[in-house]
Amino acid sequence: MLDIAKIEWLKIRSYSAFWWVLGITAVAYPGLNGIILMIYHKAMGTMNLPEQKARLMMGDPFGFNEVWHTVGYFSSWFIFIPAILVIMLMTNEYSFRTHRQNIIDGWTRKQFLTGKLLDVGIVTLLIVVFYLLACVVIGLKNITVGERTSGSQVYFIAYFTLQTFSQLSIAFLISFLVRNTAISLTVFIVGFLVLEPILGRILKVGGTGIEHFLPFEISNRLIPPPGFWGHLDPASYQLSMNQAGNHAGYTIVFTTILWFFCFRLNSRRDL
Amino acid sequence: MTVLELKNIHKSFGDTKALKGVSFEIPAGSIFGILGPNGSGKTTLLGIMLDVLKADSGSFTWFDEPEGENPRKRIGTLLETPNFYHYLSATSNLEITRRISKRGAREDVEHVLRKVQLYERRKSRFSSYSLGMKQRLAIGAALLGTPSVLVLDEPTNGLDPEGIAEVRELIADLNEQGHTIIIASHLLDEVEKVCTHVAILKNGDLLSCGSVKEILADEDWVELSAKNLPALNAAMSQYPGLLHHRIEQTLVLAAFAKDAVDLEAVNEFCYRQGVKLTHMLLRKQRLEARFFELIQK
């Protein structure tokens, strides 16, 4: 496994496009959360209420405790940025035909795909690092002197990690099947932003709840909208928070099946 | 000892049958040519041998070893199109090959780069190389760690005459050192110069397989010529013991079983049939002629 990781690192380390997109991701995650924080502060300001009262209404989504949840939620909107990295790392192999060469040189098909699984894992970890940095910086900026902090929502770090890995795995699956960077990215973005929301609405009409199990939604439900939105519909908020744990299980099952499918297909198909 | 044993390999792409039950063995230490016209199944067969294509049925074994040992690490491969990471340098690309194949030490990368004359450009990106340089890098990758078997698919493609001669010399050198070399090629002249064994494919069928001597040795050819070529051709069709014959430009080529031809008897037979021969020559059969005979059957 370590040998495979070292070889993947050799492939990545001199790939300038990877570092450019990673740089954009590194700026985008804290930056976008920073913009949302500014909007939040502006909204607080327009309420014309004393801070304590405003906080009672809005909660403290960017203070320690809820920040893990809030930043995780908003960060998950931008999954398509690291998805570019995952898609590039797979479709490059097809473009250069190195997916064949690696096998010819002596890797088993399983080892090749393990390398790609590691790539998705590495990108996930990098995204989680950016998310943590954003959480810590935003949390520290919003800490109030004398305020009691709590770690009760720290578990959202694990949920965010799982959600990112699951959705990047979908990006991988698309690139694995489509084999072309531009088409893969289009399919991913259209699926994430257009197709799945439309399908979700259609399925919701039936009232069976099956829309909760669509590929992205299954992990989106790990991080429900943050607390201050919950004030608008507390019952629904509480329900989604309660269901997050179940969705962790569903996401693990879904992602495992996805990778099992990739390994199985790769072991049988022509390269 | 057998390096590779193929048993009844079948492969189809949709309705097209690319390989129809191909079986043969490649002896250790041989230079084995896989010949065939375009679409005969050469590249498909190589793909199956190297595990980039999956056979529909049949099996193959490298080095008489059980499955799972991953014998490809002992095989250097040079494909028609060199496959490398375009954004990486020659050194990084070879380092990836070395680590995957586990052939050779780190110093071997430098050694191989000198051998294929790319050392000065070792830090340049692969994408900046000319076709010849790319091919040389692929040769370098195939030679890394001196593998026991080399698989070459059209190895002289894209090379200038000097490069072709170098590759030919390299193949001979490696074979002398005991390496087995498998070459897929449509350049019959090239194959005849270097190969000890050949397999001839056509439309996915194995037409013939064995040592070059065996394949060429089963027939003797006689060149015949006369003023009236159609009459000579008609006369020869009556000749007892003739295997087959054809007109080729100003000659009638007649095939006899090995060592069965009596030139005096042929001359006398033609004379009796009213055809005076102007030319008669017993010639050594060339692989090219044998190849065309087989694929035209």
Compute how many other C-beta atoms are within 10 angstroms of the C-beta atom of residue B209: 20
When pLDDT is cut at 50, 70 and 90, the band that residue A118 belongs to is: very high
Nearest Cα of chain A lies from the Cα of B70 at a distance, in angstroms, of 7
Question: Could you tell me if B127 and B158 are in contact, meaning their C-beta atoms sit under 8 angstroms apart?
Answer: no
Helices (H), chain B: 42-49, 90-101, 106-115, 131-143, 161-176, 188-194, 212-217, 229-236, 263-272, 287-296
Residues in chain B closer than 8 A to A98 (CB atoms): 83-85
Q: Give B127's contacts (C-beta < 8 A, 6+ positions apart).
A: B86, B87
Q: In whole angstroms, what is the distance from residue A152 CA to residue A162 CA?
A: 18
Interface probe for A, chosen from B9, B45, B51, B144 (most Cβ of A below 10 Å), is: B51
When pLDDT is cut at 50, 70 and 90, the band that residue B90 belongs to is: very high
Q: In whole angstroms, what is the distance from residue B196 CA to residue B80 CA?
A: 22
The residues with which B20 forms a beta bridge, in sequence order, are B10
Residue of A nearest to B44 (CA): A270
Query: What percent of chain B has a predicted confidence (pLDDT) above 70?
Result: 94
Mean pLDDT computed over A243-254: 91
Highest mean pLDDT among B30-44, B55-69, B272-286: B30-44
Residues in chain B closer than 8 A to A268 (CB atoms): 54
Mean pLDDT computed over A7-31: 92
Q: Is B242 helix (H, G, I), strand (E, B) or coil?
A: strand
Residue of B nearest to A15 (CA): B87
Q: In whole angstroms, what is the distance from residue A206 CA to residue A195 CA?
A: 18
B51 vs A104: CB contact, 8 Å cut-off? yes
Nearest Cα of chain B lies from the Cα of A101 at a distance, in angstroms, of 6
| Tens digits of residue pLDDT in B126-181 | 999 988 888 889 989 998 988 889 998 887 776 778 777 877 787 888 888 888 99
Q: Which helix (H) or strand (E) holds A24?
A: helix A16-46
**Shortest CB distance from A98 goes to which of B51, B53, B84?**
B84
**Interface of chain A against chain B, CB under 8 Å?**
3, 6-7, 10-11, 14-17, 92, 95-98, 100-109, 268-271
Q: What does the pLDDT read at residue B156? A: 76
Q: In whole angstroms, what is the distance from residue B212 CA to residue B185 CA?
A: 15
Mean pLDDT computed over A141-165: 80
Q: What does the pLDDT read at residue A184? A: 95
Q: In whole angstroms, what is the distance from residue B269 CA to residue A115 CA?
A: 73
Question: Could you tell me if A49 and A90 are in contact, meaning their C-beta atoms sit under 8 angstroms apart?
Answer: no
Q: What does the pLDDT read at residue A232? A: 67
As for the ipTM of the complex, it is 0.86
Residues in chain B closer than 8 A to A101 (CB atoms): 79, 83-84, 97
Residues in chain B closer than 8 A to A20 (CB atoms): none
| Tens digits of residue pLDDT in B1-48 | 889 999 999 999 998 999 999 999 999 989 999 988 888 899 899 999
DSSP character at residue A226? P
Residues in chain A closer than 8 A to B75 (CB atoms): 106
A100 vs B102: CB contact, 8 Å cut-off? no
A104 vs B50: CB contact, 8 Å cut-off? yes
The residues with which B247 forms a beta bridge, in sequence order, are B252
Nearest Cα of chain B lies from the Cα of A51 at a distance, in angstroms, of 55
Q: In whole angstroms, what is the distance from residue B118 CA to residue A119 CA?
A: 31
B84 vs A102: CB contact, 8 Å cut-off? no
Q: In whole angstroms, what is the distance from residue B182 CA to residue B47 CA?
A: 13
Q: Give A177's contacts (C-beta < 8 A, 6+ positions apart).
A: none
Q: In whole angstroms, what is the distance from residue B70 CA to residue B49 CA?
A: 12
| Tens digits of residue pLDDT in B172-209 | 888 888 889 999 887 777 777 788 898 988 889 998 88
Nearest Cα of chain B lies from the Cα of A165 at a distance, in angstroms, of 26
Mean pLDDT computed over A2-6: 92
Q: In whole angstroms, what is the distance from residue B79 CA to residue A101 CA?
A: 9
Burial profile B162-181: b = 16 or more Cβ within 10 angstroms, e = fewer = ebbebbeebbeebbeeebbb
